[in-house]
Amino acid sequence: LVDGGSRCAGRVEVLHRGQWGTVCDSNWDMRDAAVVCRELRCGEAVDALSDAHFGPGSGPIWMDDVDCSGSESTLKNCRSRGWGKHNCGSSKDAGVICSENVALIHNILGVRLVGGSRCSGRVEVLHGETWSTVCDADFDQQDAEVVCRELGCGLPVEVLGAAAFGRGEGQ
């Protein structure tokens, strides 16, 4: 994974005949991303990205129409058009974000959700080196939209108060 800021996020590149090349985003989905994250020991797939989200690669396009079941041990074991066979340009390079990268994302953004899943939980903010909770007074749909957008979680479904995900430890 290249140009994603860590070893567990970035543009997907594969080594073939001694040369690194990219993967086209045609039919690129979470099952394909899951195989990449497992192969790299980066946890679970959080997102499967397309349209050269992490910038276009410069090498050959090695794989296109990748179709993994999700249980393969490596991306090379997934079905595709065949090495070097493609009908796309580098502006369509596939990318991945794996769960091992979520801690890095939280530290950069300074906001996280605790006690639920990646996209649900108690809102906590980073102040200095300490994670603190956010009071539910006046915390509304608009506030939740900002948090969800920052974390790449789409639109909020429900805004919960009264420590629905348990009480925080810090301030």
Residue range(s) in the chain whose domain bears CATH number 3.10.250.10: 2-101
Mean pLDDT of 91-100: 89
Tokens found for residue 133:
């909770």
Pick 2-101's CATH classification: 3.40.50.2300, 3.10.250.10, 3.30.1490.100, 3.10.450.50: 3.10.250.10
Q: Of 148, 152, 159, 112, nearest to 4 (Cα)?
A: 152
Map 77-144 to HEC letters. HCECCCCCCCCCCHHHECEEEEHHHHHHHHHHHCEEEEEEECCEEEEEEEECCEEEECCCCCCCHHHH
Question: Looking at per-residue confidence, does 31 or 156 come out higher?
Answer: 31
The pLDDT of residue 72 is above 70: yes
For residue 123, is it left (φ>0), alpha (ψ between -120 and 50) or beta? beta
Whether the pLDDT of residue 163 is over 90: the answer is: no
pLDDT above 80: residue 57: yes
Using DSSP, state whether 145 is helix, strand or coil.
Answer: helix
Q: What pLDDT, in 10s, does the model give residues 117-145?
A: 778 888 888 877 788 888 888 888 888 88
93 vs 109, which has greater pLDDT?
93
Q: Is the pLDDT of residue 148 over 80?
A: yes
